[in-house]
Amino acid sequence: MVRAAVLPAVGAPLEITEIDLPAPGPGQVRVRLAAAGVCHSDLSLSNGTLRQPVPAVLGHEGSGTVTAVGEGVHEVAPGDRVVLNWAPSCRSCHFCGLDEPWLCADAATGADTPYATLRRDGSALYPGLGTAVFAEETVVRASAVLPLPDGIPLAEAALLGCAVLTGYGAVHHSARVRAGETVAVYGVGGVGLSVLQAARIAGAATIVAVDVSPEKEALARAAGATAFVVASEDTARTVRELTGGHGVDVAVECVGHAGTIRTAWSSTRRGGRTTVVGIGGRDQQVAFSALELFYFGRTLNGCVYGNSDPARDLPAIASHVRAGRLDLAGMVTARTDLDGIPAAFEAMLAGRGGRALVVFPD
């Protein structure tokens, strides 16, 4: 018996209830969770912005300890500390063959197969994004666990599974920020804080954080922002004024809202780059004129999971954590337990804080 946060139907409130997990089958791993981050993507799954079969146990940003492995699993063993990977690549599809594992055609297949049952009636449960870490324990494919490098606190390591890999990758792989460049970061949540830190690590000269909440300024500056702008109708103009009237070299949008994407684009210089990390709904339409596309010569690109290869990037990120260049604990603005997840969702909807971390008992 395992306690978990279950989404009974799209748009319904989460229920904290008991589930039954099977023993890991061939190629599977069972993990006892140490912590799980509450990410905006979980909210998108719960409200239907992202597709997820239901009923489901949500949560995709987690860390823990392997308790059992199924037949044929040799990558990890019981007792190993691991980070969950919600987008494991198959290494054999068309996109993996192009060395773009973040676009793997099979990455999301784990979410479509029932993995557990509700204790009260035996009905089948699906794993949110294939990982289902809003639970005391989970069972996943072996490819969905990454050995945690030494020297990283196990609870805070949960953030590596989504926010940090996404934010770090957005800066280093998608936007390709270079030393001395100017950067604007839209949205100071978990991913935004990771982007700010990654931009600082990359050597950006000016880093402007933009958020609707003025209370986030201290958080943003601690992560590396050199300036903070409260979002308004004049945001793009304000950002350009902070960069000599030209605009930033790079804007990273972490909200997933049409208006914010448009503002981020408008705040970049001619020839600048805008990277969209935030996940918006289908109704969020962004408009550009043909003339401005020609005149400004800007680049606009999407970014999936930071365009990261977790197996390659996790050791590099861990080295920054161990050296004190990347602060995981500083991103956590609230710690709660499983019963506190609905309240963490409400705080996220209200735009409060950075990352809420669900910490499970030892």
Is the residue at 274 inside a domain? Answer: yes
Is the residue at 168 inside a domain? Answer: no
**Over the chain, what HEC string results?**
CEEEEEECCCCCCCEEEEEECCCCCCCEEEEEEEEEEECHHHHHHHHCCCCCCCCEECCCEEEEEEEEECCCCCCCCCCCEEEECCCCCCCCCHHHHCCCHHHCCCCCHHHHCCCEEECCCCCEEEEHHHCCCCECEEEEEHHHEEECCCCCCCCHHHHHHCHHHHHHHHHHHHCCCCCCCEEEEECCCHHHHHHHHHHHHHCCCEEEEEECCHHHHHHHHHHCCCEEEECCCCHHHHHHHCCCCCCEEEEEECCCCHHHHHHHHHCEEEEEEEEECCCCCCCCCCCCCHHHHHHHCCEEEECCHHHCCHHHHHHHHHHHHHCCCCCCHHHEEEEECHHHHHHHHHHHHCCCCCEEEEECCC
Is the residue at 287 inside a domain? Answer: yes
Q: Does one domain contain both 154 and 6?
A: yes
Pairing state of beta strands 81-84 and 145-147? antiparallel
Is the residue at 352 inside a domain? Answer: yes
Q: What is the pLDDT of residue 284?
A: 92
Q: Does one domain contain both 259 and 153?
A: no
Is the residue at 320 inside a domain? Answer: no
Domain region containing 44: 2-161+327-359
CA distances for 258 relative to 170, 287, 288, 305, angstroms:
19, 9, 11, 20
Tokens 């490819």 belong to 143
Using pLDDT thresholds of 50, 70 and 90, give the confidence band for residue 150: very high
As a whole number, mean pLDDT of residues 270-291 equals 94
Residues 72, 26 contacting (CB under 8 angstroms): yes
Q: Any idea what the CATH number is for the domain that residue 211 is in?
A: 3.40.50.720
The per-residue pLDDT for range 239-266, each reduced to its tens digit, is 999 999 999 999 999 999 999 999 999 9
Measured distance between the N- and C-terminal CA atoms of the chain, rounded to whole angstroms: 16
Q: Does one domain contain both 154 and 178?
A: no
Is the residue at 322 inside a domain? Answer: no
Is the residue at 217 inside a domain? Answer: yes
Is the residue at 156 inside a domain? Answer: yes
Q: Does one domain contain both 21 and 142?
A: yes
Q: Does one domain contain both 39 and 187?
A: no
Write down the pTM of the prediction: 0.95
Q: Any idea what the CATH number is for the domain that residue 62 is in?
A: 3.90.180.10
Q: Cα angle at 215 between 254 and 263, to 5 degrees?
A: 35
Q: Does one domain contain both 153 and 243?
A: no
Which of 137, 201, 142 lies closest to 167, judged by CA? Answer: 201
Q: Does one domain contain both 119 and 179?
A: no
Q: Does one domain contain both 152 and 15?
A: yes
Mean pLDDT score of the chain = 95
The region of weakest confidence among 56-65, 101-110, 176-185, 211-220 is 101-110
Two tokens, residue 155 = 């609870």
Count of the separate structural domains present in the chain: 2
Q: Which of 10-21 are b and which e, b meaning 16 or more Cβ less than 10 Å from the residue's Cβ?
A: beeebebbebeb
Instruction: Check pLDDT > 90 for residue 50.
Output: no
